[in-house]
Structure formats: structure tokens, C-alpha cells
Structure 1
Amino acid sequence: MSHMPRRQRLISALRKTVTRHRLLFAAKTALAAGLAWYVAPLMPGPAAAYPYYAPLGALVSMHPTVAASAKHGLQSLLGLALGIGMAFAITTFAAPTAFSVALVVGLGVLIGGLPRLGSASEWIPMAALFVLVLGDSNAESFSFGYVLQMAMGVAVGFAVNWMVFPPLHLEGIDPALAGHRGALSRQLTDMARAMEESWPPDHEAWASRSGELSATTSAVRTAVLEAELSTKANPRSRRRARRLPDDLAGLRTVERLTFHVQDITDVLASVIWEEGADTVLPEGVLSHLAEALESVAAVIDKWRNDQARELEDQLTDARDRVHALGDAINEAAAGQASVNAAASVAMSLRRMITVLSSE
């Protein structure tokens, strides 16, 4: 029995790892490496003697997006050029010794720390070391073959990534948005229930969910930005990425909604648990506040859920509930009650409705 949970976790991990995208990426990488090895002996001059660097070039250029393939491939070649140049400078006065090896590696790592080099920084010490140790007296021919084969491999890798089902990472946006929409709605609903309980409320998990909301917001941001990156230099993007501007607008909406929900959470947590914070809610406001929170939660449930008519109905109801909350706050203020906390929550709810209405 003890092995079952472990087995289930292993199966779950494999399902998350061996995805359709991952299998396609592995197949394309294998194809690029094989093509590079096939073409490598056809390279001119001494380069044909170093065919093993061609599949390496294909490997380093293969990335989940076409733009990343071009970027990392070019950066790798830049690192090679810098490393080879440094190695040539060292070999003019030093043979491959422990000191010269340490010197080229140390200088390569130092130069690799320069800003904006990207993945080139990893290749500078490696290329310098290879030229110094493997090139030896034949450093010029080795360097020529090394660079040419790597460049050919990078070109093959980019071509395969660009021509064979260039990836568009659009399918992760909707699940990420749905997950965050659910988290925001649940947070508002739980706070609404807390307003109806005796204080301190029995259910208080909502007060410590700031990390969860940040995580789901980050998931949306990552999904949208990965999708945006995958459309660059992608021949499929014209047909299939028309939704991206709308998704970027959705990301901005998510971030604004999250800010207001976290602000409401902080205010209500202060009202309930922070003594001496001068944050209170008048008794006559609580039921209206609970109804307003639930109504905005319902709007978020319908937002981006292909239910335009129901969303408009919920928006109308939310406006009415928040307006009723405002009337209750004004009435409490007329009775000399402290309404700062309630007014702050009402203002956040109004802004959330405005944000959702403009979507």
C-alpha cells in the first residue's frame, strides 16, 4: 500500500513532463542533431575533421520558441568568437599548462560576467579551453572547424525549429486565467462569509492567501508572456495569435483586480484581528458589505467565461449592491460611526467593477 502513493506521484510527474509539446520538441531536436551530423562531413577544408561540433550547435540552438532559438544560437556563436580570440592571445606566449588552462578559464569567466552577453557568457571559457587544450599546435584549423561546424549546427537547429511546427504557446493562457479567476472569486466569497460570522470568524484562511494570489497571478503572467515570445519570428503567428492583444489586456486586468482584492484582504484582516488599529466596521454595514463582496465575486466568475449576457446582469447587480453599501456607509457616518475601513473596501469594489466593465 505504501508504494501506491509513490507510484501515483511518479505517474503524475511523468504526465506533466511527457507532454505533447515536449515530445514534439524532443523529436525536432533529434532531427536537427541528425541533420547537422549528416551535413557536417560536407563542410569545406579542415572543418570536416570536426563533425561532432555540428550536432552540438544544433542542440544549443533548440529552444521552445523560434525567437529564443535565434537569440541563444547567435549568443553562443558570439561566445565562441570571444573565447577563441582570447585563446589565440594566450597561445602566442603560453603552451597548454596548468597555469595557462587556469588563466583562460579565469579570464573567460571574468569576461562572461559582462552585461547583456546572455548565454554567450557560458561559451567564452569553454571555447577558450577547447582551443587551448585540443587545438594545441593546430589551433588555427581547429578554431576554423569549431566555429564553422557550430555555426552550421545552429543554422540547422534554427531552420528545423522555424519550419517544423514552430511552437505557439497559446493553450496555457486559458487554464491560467481560469485558475486565477477562481482564486479571486473564492477570496471575495470567503471574506463575504466572514462578515456574516461571529468575530473572530471560524474561517480565516482567506487572511493568509496573499501568497496564493501572487502565485496564480504569476502563472497568468508567465503564460501570457511565453505566448507573446512564441509569436516572434513565428510563421504561424499571423493565423493563430490574433488573440494575444486581448490576452495582454486580460493580464493587465488580472493584475489590477489582484491589487484591489489584496487591499480589501488587508483592510478586513486589520478590522478583525488588529487591536488598536482604529479600523472598525459599523454593525449596519456588515450585511451590505457581504452582499457587495459576493456580487463582485460573481462578476469575476463570469468574466472571460463566454457568458456575456450573464456577465452584464452580474455587473448590474454588483453596481446595485455596492451602491447600497455606499448608502449604508453614509448612514453610519451620519450616526458618527467610523467608516474609514468600510469606505476603503467600497472604493476598491467600485474600481474592480470599473475594471471589469471596461474589458
Structure 2
Amino acid sequence: AGVQQLALIASGTLIAAAAVSLTHSTTAAIAIALPLTTLLGNYTRFGDQGLYASSTALFVLTYGTYSATDIGHRLLESLLGAVVGIAVNALVLPPVHLRGVHDVLPGPPRQAARLARLMADDLEAGHGSDHAQNWKAQSDRLTQALADLRTARGWTQESLRLNPGHRLRRPPNVIPAPSWDMDWERVSHHLTALAGLLAEGTRDEPALAAPPTDVPARTAQLLRATADVCEGHARTLTEPWHEPDDSIAEAMQQARDALDQLKLFLLAQDDRETEAVVGALVARTQQLIHDLNRLARPGTSTGTPVGQ
């Protein structure tokens, strides 16, 4: 980023100086320099630093600092700033972005709990396709929470590179291992797929038949227990110690009991359309409970020092 920023500042400075030398007019130089620096800044290799080309050119032209001496001083100052910034971050005490990870860790279980509870409430109330749109919106929030966590992890790993002062001056922060993220991604996938499956029966021309009357109530019980499990994990992550919440095991047992009821209902059916829709629900909820159980078992969410 430092090299990108330095290259753009130098380019913006030189383009502005060349434009004013050719036109001898600040207004005309702005008309020439800004389109060129904007195009240069949009080049993908410069990433988020692209704005510096245009802003530097505009600064140079507005303040009239485009003599050979001024240009030389500006380039030297930019180079010195880049060298100092890189040296401090790499060798003295680099920034370690750990707070961001801790802040977003409860996001996936919290959003998963909200989605599961929203679906359970709507199923029990008998709401139709209009409320299925709310499931999609909440599912998108869950996906965004997982994306925020991936971004925070990336910043943490990036900030640990060339960081000799990290272990000497900062105590190691303990957070769940990256495999924890994968578990929640699977839970998110199952919940989203389950929402789509349940919403299918509310469409005008559904591919699957609407589930029998007893199925939504049983599915709502399972989803409510799932929400309790997710909320238990979220509460655990907001505490300074990562001890399992006793309510998680109780909620997991309730979810298994609800799944067993769905399986028994499936075995009692003799209609193929009903078997298809209930079988799909049973398969998806069993995968959901299996991955939640991986998170609920002692030791699977044990914290590890960041970067290990």
C-alpha cells in the first residue's frame, strides 16, 4: 500500500506539473490532469489508493506548487513518508488488528439465531410468501456477518507479518481457530437452504408441495432450539472466558428430539409428494444439527492464539 500510494502521489505531481507547463493555465491544466489521474487511479493494481493521484494533482495545481524545486521537495517528502511509515509498521511496533476480530466473532451465531427464530415465529403463525422475503433479508445479514469475520481475520494475519514486537509487547489474544469460521459457514448454508425449502411451498407455482399441517409446527420447534444453541454460542463469545454455556447442551437435545419427531412423521407417510418435501426437510435439518453439534462439543471451539 505504501508503494502504491507513493507511485500515485508521484504520478499525480508529475502529471500536474507537465500539464501546467504545456498550458500555462491552471484551469486548462486541471482539465487535462484530472481525467488522466482519474484513469490512472482506477487501475486495479493500485487498489484503494487510487484517489491519491487526482487529489495530489489538484493540490499541486490549486496551490501553485509546480516549480522544479517544489516538485522535487514533494517527491522527496512523499518518499521519506513512505519509508518512515513502512519502517515503523514493519520493524518498530506494527498495528495488530485484533479488536476487529473480537468485535465481529459473535456476529455469525447472533445472526443465525435471528434467522432461525424469525423462521420459527413465522411458521408457527402460518405466514406466507410475504414473510419469506424477510427470511431472505436476514439470510443476507448472516452472509455479511461471515464476510466481515473473514475480512477481520485477513487483517489480523496481515498485521502479524514482520512483527517482531508483537509477542514482546502484547499478550497473545485468544480467539477460536479459523476452522470455527468454516463450521459457521456450514450452519449458515444449511439455514439458508432450509429457508429456501420452506419458502418454496408458499410460491404460486411451487416445485415442491406445501408441507403437511403438522410439519411446520415440528420444524418451528427445531428452529427455535437451533436459535437457542446459536444464542448460547454468541453469549459465550461476549465473555472474556470461553466456557461452554450449559443451555447449549439442553437446546441441542431439544433440536434432536424435534428432528426425531420429523423422522417418525416421515416414516408414517405413504404419499410420495409428502415424502419428498418432508424428506428434504429431514435431510437438511439433520445436516444442520450435525454441524451445530460439532460446535457444541467441548474443545471444538477452543480458543487459540491469533496467528497460530
Q: TM-score, normalised by structure 1?
A: 0.62
Distance 1:129 1:188 in 2: 52
CA distance 1:353–1:117, change in 2 (3 Å)? same
Do the aligned partners of 2:109 and 2:231 also contact (CA within 8 Å) in 1? yes
Aligned to 2:193: 263
Structure 2 residue 131 is matched with structure 1 residue 212: no
Aligned to 1:321: 258
AA aligned to 2:266 is I
Larger radius of gyration, structure 1 or 2? 1
**CA displacement, residues 51-100 of structure 1 (integer Å, 9 cap, x when unaligned):** xxxxxxxxxxxxxxxxxxxx1x3222101222344356556755345434
AA aligned to 2:279 is A
Aligned to 1:10: none
Match of 1:226 among 128, 144, 152: 152
Distance 1:275 1:103 in 2: 57
Do the aligned partners of 1:281 and 1:341 also contact (CA within 8 Å) in 2? yes
Match of 1:118 among 42, 47, 57: 47
Aligned to 1:345: 281
**CA displacement, residues 174-232 of structure 1 (integer Å, 9 cap, x when unaligned):** 554434423422433443455455x458xx85751322332244234324423431442
How far did 1:276 drift? 4.7
Distance 1:300 1:219 in 2: 14
Give matches, 1:28-107, under 5 Å.
71=1, 73-87=2-16, 89-90=18-19, 93-96=22-25, 98-107=27-36
**CA displacement, residues 238-295 of structure 1 (integer Å, 9 cap, x when unaligned):** 566665671x333333333223223322333343x43552522224545543433333
Do the aligned partners of 1:217 and 1:254 also contact (CA within 8 Å) in 2? no
Distance 1:91 1:213 in 2: 54
Count of aligned pairs: 280
Aligned to 2:292: 356
Structure 2 residue 222 is matched with structure 1 residue 292: yes
Question: Where in structure 1 are there 5+ consecutive unaligned residues?
Answer: 1-70
Give matches, 1:179-198, under 5 Å.
179-197=107-125
Do the aligned partners of 1:108 and 1:128 also contact (CA within 8 Å) in 2? yes
Give matches, 1:5-16, under 5 Å.
none
Higher relative contact order (CA 8 A, sep 6+): 2
CA distance 1:317–1:101, change in 2 (3 Å)? closer
**Overall identity of the aligned pairs, in %:** 22
Specify the SS of the correspondent of 1:347. helix
Match of 1:251 among 176, 181, 186: 181
Distance 2:106 2:20 in 1: 59
**CA displacement, residues 108-136 of structure 1 (integer Å, 9 cap, x when unaligned):** 22333322123553333444556667355
Distance 2:118 2:60 in 1: 64
Q: TM-score, normalised by structure 2?
A: 0.71
Do the aligned partners of 2:16 and 2:30 also contact (CA within 8 Å) in 1? no
Aligned to 1:55: none
Cα RMSD of the aligned pairs, angstroms, is: 3.7
AA aligned to 1:215 is R
CA distance 1:344–1:111, change in 2 (3 Å)? same
Match of 2:209 among 279, 301, 316: 279
Specify the SS of the correspondent of 1:338. helix
Do the aligned partners of 2:23 and 2:29 also contact (CA within 8 Å) in 1? yes
Do the aligned partners of 1:231 and 1:237 also contact (CA within 8 Å) in 2? no
Aligned to 2:71: 143
CA distance 1:111–1:210, change in 2 (3 Å)? same
CA distance 1:164–1:279, change in 2 (3 Å)? farther
